[in-house]
Structure 1
Amino acid sequence: MSTVGDRQILNAARACVLAAGVHETTFNDIARRAGVSRMTLYRRYSDVGSLISELLGREFARILREHTQIPPEAPPDPRPARQRLVETVLAVVEAFQEDPLMSQVLDAEPEILMPYLFNKFGSTQQIAIDLLAHRLDAGHRDGSIRAGSVAVQAHAIVLTVQSFIVSASASGPVPADRLRTELSLILEGYLRPCAPGTGAQSAAG
């Protein structure tokens, strides 16, 4: 299937989920909205769940890139790298929490997310790992982030942030903005260089 065809189908699936919800979206609905036959969808996807999973992968990548890309003409940012990293992560978490498609899926059928949390680590999450690596390296160089393995630190951050995105609906009455404040404290404490004389050891490279 062509790239244009993929985009057309995924856009149709997104519109259907937002209009009718996860459980009420069918292949017939998506095919009708996309202007393709139902057999076209069956040749590409085993069921609606697998189609929505691919849609989520695209949405994850879009949100990450929209909130982390730095325009080429942007002036140098004078803030310490740790501050830039934490604020970027919080912006991404807020975008995920407020995204209408993510809200639909998390409220109706969060198990659809499971492949992206377990089976497919190294695809969707790898985008986040790569984005974090540059910021972590900058923090190591300017001294605002404690020494350690960039790869290990990036994976630790992704695993922590995933729980704030996926499990936020299980937090009951705690507002999302309060949770993000706590996440910022967690990240700041994890990344801050150890104070001299504390005896704490940095992570192995």
Structure 2
Amino acid sequence: MGALAQLLPLVRTPRRDQDQSVLAAALHAFLDFGIKRTSMVEVARRGGLSLATLYRRFSSKSDLIQAVGLAQTRDFIEGVDAAVQQQIERDAGAEDQIVELFVAFLAGLRGNELLDRLLNTEPEIVLPYLTTKGAPVIELGRDYVAEFITRLQGEGKLPAYDPLPLAEMIARTALSLALTPQTVIPLNDDIAVRKYARDHVAVSFRVPGQVVDS
């Protein structure tokens, strides 16, 4: 599923416990000071280890930033996985699963403290990786949704079709809504968001027997 298809399995690999305290320390420093103003010395101090030990684990600040980004992505995927799994366990139909998938995507993106902090204080750092250089983010979301569609197709809950174009549209829509909160869609109303997802998102998945109120 594209050059970034290997990223989804990477995100789902088990965490390295020895790095968790360091990544947590780096995340909190980024939240307090921003990425530019956070030094490796500050991360080492907060993580309770020497600067030399920190550099043995992460050879540069860039490597540490990438590791924090991967950890944030892993948290996002785990949150979406958990929401979808609840629907699977109750044998929910395709429409209910799609609604919860979309809601979880939005919640994960809009509820990310680091992303929100960077968008407000250091947009020049993060925006290129969500827009002009955003292919990896789009591909990760697209591959996740395509995997989701393929599973529902295998269960006979969706008809057969190429899932990739639709999956990319859903990923792009969720990212756009997260980055641009000014919208007529009531994103802060949980009930309204689910209604929007049911009326305007789920229908694009071609759920058998689905009827949309006019």
User: What's the % identity of the aligned pairs?
Assistant: 17
Match of 2:39 in 1: 26
Assess if the C-alpha contact under 8 Å between 1:81 and 1:136 holds in 2: no
What is the correspondence of 1:1-205 to structure 2 with a 5 Å cutoff? 3=16, 6-22=19-35, 24-34=37-47, 35-37=49-51, 40=55, 44-45=59-60, 47=62, 51-69=64-82, 76-113=89-126, 114-115=128-129, 119=133, 121-122=135-136, 127-140=140-153, 145=158, 147-168=160-181, 171=182, 176-177=187-188, 180=193, 184=197, 185-193=199-207
Instruction: State how far apart, in whole Å, the 2-side matches of 1:41 and 1:164 are.
Output: 39
The alignment yields a C-alpha RMSD, in angstroms, of 4.0
Which amino acid in structure 2 is aligned with residue 44 of structure 1? S
Instruction: State how far apart, in whole Å, the 2-side matches of 1:79 and 1:9 are.
Output: 39
1:127 positional shift: 4.8
Unpaired segments of 5 or more residues in structure 2? Answer: 1-15, 210-214
Which amino acid in structure 1 is aligned with residue 20 of structure 2? R
Cα deviations across residues 88-120 of structure 1 (Å, max 9, x unaligned)?
221231133123223212222234333365657
1:149 positional shift: 0.7
Assess if the C-alpha contact under 8 Å between 2:106 and 2:177 holds in 1: yes
Instruction: State how far apart, in whole Å, the 2-side matches of 1:140 and 1:151 are.
Output: 13
Which amino acid in structure 1 is aligned with residue 162 of structure 2? S
| TM-score under structure 2 length normalisation | 0.65
Which amino acid in structure 1 is aligned with residue 51 of structure 2? S
Unpaired segments of 5 or more residues in structure 1? Answer: 196-205
Assess if the C-alpha contact under 8 Å between 1:82 and 1:145 holds in 2: no
Instruction: State how far apart, in whole Å, the 2-side matches of 1:182 and 1:19 are.
Output: 36
Q: Secondary structure at the match of 1:67?
A: helix
Identify the range of structure 1 (90-99 vs 186-195) with the bigger mean alpha-carbon deviation.
186-195
Aligned residues: 188
From the superposition, tell whether residues 64 and 4 of structure 1 become closer, same or farther in structure 2 (CA, over 3 Å): closer
